[in-house]
Amino acid sequence: MPAEKYVGKIYRAEFGLGGDNFSRLGLMIEIRGEPKDGVCGAWGTGYTRTTTAFDITLPSGHENERATECYMTMIYVCTLLQAAGVHTIDKLVGTPVECTFDGMELVGWRVLPQEGACRHST
């Protein structure tokens, strides 16, 4: 089956702790648009043990791996913000996107270029 493309908008954009037992730190995006409504994607890094939202412990010997994951997540977030022409994650809501699906699987998405004035706030 060939890949299908659909247009939607970012409905929700959050950065913080999430996932199983709030054991991941990163970005979560929800995209809505017909006919594939409520598609979610997440990017970030995981930790093995979280006892509270403020007590995150790295497993011994994995500090470099986690540092690299955090760095790559921040690069991804910066690239996404620049593409959308905004400075903060909350301002991504309403941004038009193009999603590529293989059947029901989201295999990629991108921010669509917007006509008119830049969305950067002053």
The reply to whether the predicted model has a pTM over 0.85 is no
For tokens 């006509």, the residue is 115
Q: Which amino acid is at 62?
A: H
Query: Do residues 94 and 9 touch, judged by C-beta distance below 8 A?
Result: yes
Rounded to whole angstroms, how far apart are CA atoms 91 and 17?
A: 19
| Positions in the chain short of pLDDT 70 | 1, 20-23, 35-63, 115-122
pLDDT the model gives residue 3 = 84
pLDDT the model gives residue 45 = 61
For tokens 């011994």, the residue is 60
pLDDT the model gives residue 54 = 47
